[in-house]
Structure 1
Amino acid sequence: MAELSGWAEAILFVPYGPRLRSYRKLLYQTLNPRATLEFQDLQIQEVKKLMKRLLVHPGEFLDHAKLYAGAVSIRIAYGHTARDFNDEFIQGAEEFMSAVSEAILPGRWLVETIPSMRYIPSWFPGATFKRKAEKWAKMTAKHRQGPFDYVLKHMIEGTAEPSFTSKLLEPADGSQVSESEKEMIKIVASHLYGAGADTTASIIQSFFLAMTLYPDVQFKAQAELDSYLTTKRTLTIADREHLPYTHGVVMESLRWHPVTNIIARRTKEDEVVGEYIIPSGTYVIGNLWAMLHNAEIYRDPCVFKPERYLGDEPSPDPAIYGFGFGRRVCPGSHIGLQSLWLVISNILANFEISKLRTSDGEEITPGEEYTSGILSRPLPFKNIIKPRTMAARSMVDEVEI
């Protein structure tokens, strides 16, 4: 289905080889640790908008997290500012991700088992898969080309905001970009939303759940923040090294309920592991949940404990596993971690998150329940989110959405 839908060269489906290495080179050029800092200002702008939305409509915090993550991904990819879910760039990206999610469902399409079915005409009875694929191919072409043309237009007009696409189309060394390179830039840029939006949103949503369930953790982080901050301001990535417990909250948000519980890899050649021979072409499943909940490495693994990363013998950084591993490790881990730090630290500094109460004053504890799809996120739950102080309210209220 991937090939029929025009995704054969998509970064998600292309096999390891020269093309994937070229894709990853493009990503590293713009998303390496140093380059990532160039996107901090836009991330902070979106964090401020997120906090304003929390102030105005606190009950919609799960949606606010998703809009923040989507808006950041779109701005990084194309320099376009998305203000709500009706934004055409976000709509196009969501449509694309929905199609991919449907296409890769195991056992969903008979053509995956009988490849010769791909030659059946789309009008033929039972060729629903062919009609779907044709629709998705047209949608994919539009999803790639429209935002790319947007960047080109603004570059010509001299109004383009720095982005993944604009930086690669206009290299700092002044070199010319070939047509084949432009095509690769277009393809990779179109995947930044899917790679960053859903994963970042899910982790932020888990953070909201953790702070609702673990008020003592929230209190400790806020005590650290209050001791460190001498004036009310927006925290930046430069503050991270001075706030170890708060950084631990970010790390634990990655580990506690991983966004992806398993990942698949395929062997390129025969592998010998102990007494076993794993033939070339075998799919090997990595169980990220088990790795991040190994009690020998993370004591009390089901408990949200930021202090596990402190002291003389800290637990391993969960990002080692949380962003995948091997040749297909997520190349956007630096920008993702920066985004999470900016969101979580600033929300903790400015907002109090607590459980709802009944009319009798009894706390309502939300369940620790998650979806079971390819990406795992908390099922909808309710809490109370309010500014910690009048100073925090005033600072957040000044933001224009």
Structure 2
Amino acid sequence: MGILSNSTIPYAGGLIILWWLYRLVKDRQSNPNRLPFPPGPKGYPIIGSLFDFPIYKSWLVYDKWFKTYGDMIYFEVLGQPFLILGSAKRTNDLFEKRSSNYSDRPRLPMAGEMMGWEYVLTFLPYGNWWRRQRRIFHDHFHPNIVHKYQTIQINTARAFLRRLLKSPDDFVHHIRHVFASTIIKVAYGITIEEKNDPIITNVEICLEGLAEAGNPGAFLVDIFPVMKYIPDWFPGAAWKRKAARWRHFNGLLRNGPWDRVKDQMKTGTAEPCIATSILGKLPDEGSPDFAEADFIGRDVCVVAFLGGADTTVSTVQSFFMAMCIYPEVQKKAQAELDEILRGRLPEFNDRPNLPYINAMVKESLRWQLVAPLAVAHMCTNGDEYDGYYIPKGTIVIGNGWTILHDPEVFEDPLTYNPDRYLKDGKIDPTVPDHNLASFGFGRRICPGRFFSDSSLFSIVAHILAVYDIRPGLDKDGKEVEIKPEMTSGLLSYPEPFACMITPRSKEAKDLIDNSSLMDILG
């Protein structure tokens, strides 16, 4: 299925020809050494590789293409050049060593202007506004400060154990709830409801839209921005109505919690959090600088909330799936936890003594990537690299899935195997890990990765300390075979699967029941 299925190409014929001619002339003028483009499918005149452009699980399609064309694939779709990178060497050469030219983002009219994601740090163009937002975000999530949030992470992890005990079949909902409740407490000091909280509903709707529209070319309007002026009632414009719905919920999420904290600060009822820290430093409301500072603070908080509420959700779902498929890994992890914990729940100060759990965190992030293609970069200026020419405006994508499933780096890469990171019972620092690709690349690497890492450790350690996870049963009482299938989109999740989650023993159940009494207060 290609890009045509998402839009209204019959209305864009003239634009296609004009755009192609413009690109053709421009590329010839800006490539003075007449270097070839990197290898890739040649496509057809004007439309390029339109009919080959992958939409469904495109990272797997590109992975196959690498075997034909090598670790760089270049192609064009309706005049828009794409470059897909399939090795750590290529991503390092361009995103790290030439970061000043490869840190911009492509314009995404659907996700940005039409759905309202243009303010999100992830999609901001490379420039001063991005630097200001990134700097404030870093102030609250750098590796030397995330320990401040461990109390909240421990408390929400233990509440998660209690929810699993009450309704284990709802584990997917509980996973989303635990991460949403953690980050909203950190960002806004808000405690969400146990059930049917409208904030979680808003998050789910917003991220549904992001997963569908976040990859360049998912909608034809990303190639031809003028299409955003097509009226909503026009035949074939259902995509515009989708955008309007998602934009509405994006606005609720962006403004609701922030305005709530502002009102709480006026009444003296706000809890200490990132929002109160930022609001306390804003200029006076009458100041000419207030509006801009308020916008940046608002956006930093909602970006933290969106990232923390969702990305690790997929990883934990994949972890549950892995425990069903690889019971021997689960038993090994539980043996390590039993030896260290001796009948209590884990704390963060146990982490140095739990190498196998730390290896599981690494493997969970590598095995099934949350964002297999990360977020696309853009080439700011035409570039010459390794004997090839890369035109200005090329959308450059690092295929993280291929990088983290390279059999020359990760033996038997489709297997979930934490032992690959261990040597003599300790983490082997010489082994490459998920940081090659799981959080993005270069200057645009996810700044919340340290918070995500500590949240994932806490959840994995807590779950395995007290629960056994097994595949669900069919009508004949036999365990259902679970295959590691993932959904398509910018954000990828495990396809629905059933599993049984039961306390490991009576003592484990008692720990769960009494965990509210053991929550850290602070």
Give the alignment's TM-score, normalised by structure 2: 0.70
Aligned pairs (5 A) from 1:36-115: 36-84=146-194, 86-104=196-214, 109-115=219-225
SS of corresponding position for 1:322: coil
1:145 aligns with 2:255: yes
| Distance in 2 of aligned mates of 1:390 and 1:15 | 54
State the Cα distance separating 1:19 from its structure 2 match.
0.7
1:184 aligns with 2:293: no
State the Cα distance separating 1:280 from its structure 2 match.
2.2
One-letter amino acid matched to 2:188: Y
State the Cα distance separating 1:376 from its structure 2 match.
1.6
1:31 aligns with 2:141: yes
Residues 377 and 171 of structure 1: CA distance in aligned 2, closer, same or farther (over 3 Å): same
Residues 268 and 382 of structure 1: CA distance in aligned 2, closer, same or farther (over 3 Å): same
One-letter amino acid matched to 2:352: E
Residues 278 and 255 of structure 1: CA distance in aligned 2, closer, same or farther (over 3 Å): same
SS of corresponding position for 1:365: coil
* Match among 387, 393, 397 for residue 275 of structure 1: 387
1:68-87 Cα distance to aligned partner (Å, 9 max, x none): 12222322221111134521
| Distance in 2 of aligned mates of 1:137 and 1:369 | 30
State the Cα distance separating 1:305 from its structure 2 match.
1.1
1:16 aligns with 2:126: yes
1:45-80 Cα distance to aligned partner (Å, 9 max, x none): 111111111111112222211221222232222111
SS of corresponding position for 1:354: strand
State the Cα distance separating 1:387 from its structure 2 match.
1.0
State the Cα distance separating 1:200 from its structure 2 match.
0.8
Greater mean deviation of Cα atoms: 264-273 or 336-345: 264-273
Q: What corresponds to 1:207 in structure 2?
A: 319
State the Cα distance separating 1:266 from its structure 2 match.
1.0
SS of corresponding position for 2:443: helix
Which has the greater radius of gyration? 2
Q: What corresponds to 1:368 in structure 2?
A: 484
1:291 aligns with 2:403: yes
Contact 2:468 2:504 (8 Å CA) reproduced? yes
Contact 1:288 1:321 (8 Å CA) reproduced? yes
Unaligned runs of at least 5 residues, structure 2? 1-109, 518-522
Greater mean deviation of Cα atoms: 318-327 or 200-209: 318-327
Residues 99 and 277 of structure 1: CA distance in aligned 2, closer, same or farther (over 3 Å): same
| Distance in 2 of aligned mates of 1:364 and 1:113 | 43
| Distance in 1 of aligned mates of 2:508 and 2:215 | 45
| Distance in 2 of aligned mates of 1:57 and 1:133 | 35
| Distance in 1 of aligned mates of 2:186 and 2:417 | 32
Greater mean deviation of Cα atoms: 376-385 or 333-342: 376-385
* Match among 408, 416, 427 for residue 304 of structure 1: 416
1:197 aligns with 2:309: yes
| Distance in 2 of aligned mates of 1:13 and 1:167 | 24
SS of corresponding position for 1:364: coil
State the Cα distance separating 1:34 from its structure 2 match.
2.4
One-letter amino acid matched to 1:180: E
| Distance in 1 of aligned mates of 2:470 and 2:237 | 52
| Distance in 1 of aligned mates of 2:339 and 2:247 | 54
State the Cα distance separating 1:24 from its structure 2 match.
0.8
Q: What corresponds to 2:509 in structure 1?
A: 393
1:187-230 Cα distance to aligned partner (Å, 9 max, x none): 22222333222211111111111111111111111111111123
Residues 202 and 123 of structure 1: CA distance in aligned 2, closer, same or farther (over 3 Å): closer
1:271-301 Cα distance to aligned partner (Å, 9 max, x none): 3321112122211121111111111111111
SS of corresponding position for 2:396: strand
SS of corresponding position for 2:377: strand
SS of corresponding position for 1:367: coil
| Distance in 2 of aligned mates of 1:171 and 1:70 | 26
State the Cα distance separating 1:370 from its structure 2 match.
1.5
Contact 1:85 1:91 (8 Å CA) reproduced? no
Superposition RMSD on alpha carbons, in Å?
Answer: 2.8
Q: What corresponds to 1:377 in structure 2?
A: 493
Greater mean deviation of Cα atoms: 264-273 or 133-142: 133-142
Greater mean deviation of Cα atoms: 293-302 or 334-343: 293-302
Contact 1:74 1:90 (8 Å CA) reproduced? no
State the Cα distance separating 1:10 from its structure 2 match.
2.9
State the Cα distance separating 1:115 from its structure 2 match.
3.2
One-letter amino acid matched to 1:153: D
One-letter amino acid matched to 2:415: V
SS of corresponding position for 1:352: strand
| Distance in 1 of aligned mates of 2:494 and 2:329 | 19
Unaligned runs of at least 5 residues, structure 1? none
Greater mean deviation of Cα atoms: 337-346 or 95-104: 95-104
| Distance in 2 of aligned mates of 1:116 and 1:222 | 57
* Match among 162, 166, 169 for residue 276 of structure 2: 166
Greater mean deviation of Cα atoms: 268-277 or 4-13: 4-13
| Distance in 2 of aligned mates of 1:334 and 1:365 | 34
Residues 260 and 127 of structure 1: CA distance in aligned 2, closer, same or farther (over 3 Å): closer
Contact 1:370 1:379 (8 Å CA) reproduced? yes
Count of residues paired in the alignment: 398
| Distance in 1 of aligned mates of 2:322 and 2:241 | 43
SS of corresponding position for 2:393: coil
Residues 132 and 247 of structure 1: CA distance in aligned 2, closer, same or farther (over 3 Å): closer
Greater mean deviation of Cα atoms: 130-139 or 18-27: 130-139
Q: What corresponds to 1:253 in structure 2?
A: 364
One-letter amino acid matched to 2:206: F
Contact 1:30 1:167 (8 Å CA) reproduced? no
SS of corresponding position for 2:494: coil
Greater mean deviation of Cα atoms: 50-59 or 133-142: 133-142
| Distance in 1 of aligned mates of 2:351 and 2:210 | 36
Greater mean deviation of Cα atoms: 46-55 or 272-281: 272-281
| Distance in 2 of aligned mates of 1:250 and 1:14 | 29
State the Cα distance separating 1:399 from its structure 2 match.
4.8
1:339 aligns with 2:450: no
| Distance in 2 of aligned mates of 1:390 and 1:40 | 28
